[in-house]
Structures are given as structure tokens and as C-alpha cells.
Amino acid sequence: MDRIYRVQRHFYDLTRKFYLLGRDRLIRELDAAPGQTVCEIGCGTARNLVKLARRYPGCRYFGIDASAEMLETAEASLRRAGLEDRVRLGLAFAEKFDPEGTFDEGDGFDHIVFSYSLSMIPPWDAALERAVQLLRPGGTLHIVDFGDQRGMPAWFRRLLFTWLSWFHVEHRPGIRKWVEARSASPGIDVRTHALAGNYAELFRLRRTGQV
């Protein structure tokens, strides 16, 4: 990951802002209450964490990433925003994430966010399973990532997926299947929403009981 982002981290937000649809909608609809904890898995440059901390100032924030290089950029972003004391960052793999070891937080989180990070995590399904384990009762898992583009022209789909592959990003059709399977599980309430011809998909999974 450090090899990939050593250079990319310097222009990551500039190149992503036009095609990572749904990130700001996820932030608007997160609906975090004062005192709650919010953790972003694959926080990248901390772009989302900055926006979240400003929108929901009464919460505690955490972010992990598998790239130490990207976390350097995230730390700089938080300093510029004056939020370095309100957001804690840690180096960790999503599927092995241990909040107690990384942050000395052993009670889980009220909100866990995957914003276009699952398409870059090879064991994405293990990352999702681990996130569900880390949700507090009543907690919510928020996901936004690329859809199958079925409402878009074929040429656009080919162009987009080729472009994404250059940045080691891959559409994960299994995410929707995983969410659909979870919707039948007791203790989980699921909501889904497609954006712009299924360009992107938003998923919310709320833990209502034991899972």
C-alpha cells in the first residue's frame, strides 16, 4: 500500500473528487449523536473525517489505513483543519483491526464507515465481517462504493473500470450480495440506495441485536 500511495497521496483528493459519488450523502445521513464514536476504515487522506468532525462536533473520531504514507497525509490534513486533537489515526488492516490494541478502545463503535475503500481491500468480505463484530448494539455500518454501472452506457463502464484498474481499484459485485445475505440475518436492519444509474451504491446496516 505504501508503494501505491507514496506518490498518489499528494493528488488523491483532487483526482477522486469528481467520481467518488455519494461520499457527502453518506456524511449527511450518518446522523451521529453527541458522545458517539465514529471510525472510518481506509480513511485515506482524512477528507471524510474532517467533514464528519465539522458536521458532528460532539462525537469522537477514529480512522485506520493500511498505508503509513497515506496516514502522513491524513495527519497533515487534520492539522490544517485544526482537528488533530479530535481525530485519532492508526495503522491497521481492516480484516485484522483491533481497536483496543490500536486505540485502547475496547467497546466497539457506534458508526463504522467504508467510503470507496472496499474496492481497494482484497479481503473485503473479511473486512466487512470484522466491522460488524466491532459495532456496538444499535450501531450502524455505512458503505458507499462503486456499483455495477448497469444504468450507464457500455462504453462508459469499460472506460471507468479500465481507469480504476490503473489505481488498483476493482468493482466488488460481492458487496451487494454480502449485504443482501445480511438483510436476512436476525439482529441486522439493512437499507440500500443506488445512485446515478447504479454508478454507486449506498448501504446502511444497523445492528439491532445479537449477530
| CA dihedral of residues 80, 143, 20, 70 (deg, nearest 10) | 40
Sign of CA dihedral 176, 177, 179, 180: positive
Tell me the whole-structure pTM to 2 decimals.
0.88
Q: What is the pLDDT of residues 43-57, one digit of tens each?
A: 999 999 999 999 999
Which residue carries 450507464 as its cell? 152
Q: How far is 81 from 60, CA to CA, in rounded Å?
A: 16
Q: What is the pLDDT of residues 172-187, one digit of tens each?
A: 999 999 999 998 888 8
DSSP string, 100-122: HHHHS--S-EEEEEEES-GGG-T
Q: How far is 23 from 171, CA to CA, in rounded Å?
A: 16
67 or 21, which is more confident? 67
CATH code assigned at 146 = 3.40.50.150
Question: How many domains is the chain partitioned into structurally?
Answer: 1
138, with CB counted inside 10 A (0-12, 13-18, 19+), is: exposed
Lateral strand order in the sheet of 188-195: 87-91, 60-65, 37-41, 109-115, 135-146, 200-207, 188-195
Q: Which residues constitute the domain of residue 196?
A: 2-207
User: Which residues is 115 bridged to in the sheet?
Assistant: 144
pLDDT of 88 strictly over 90: yes
User: What pLDDT shows up at residue 94?
Assistant: 97
Q: How far is 179 from 143, CA to CA, in rounded Å?
A: 10
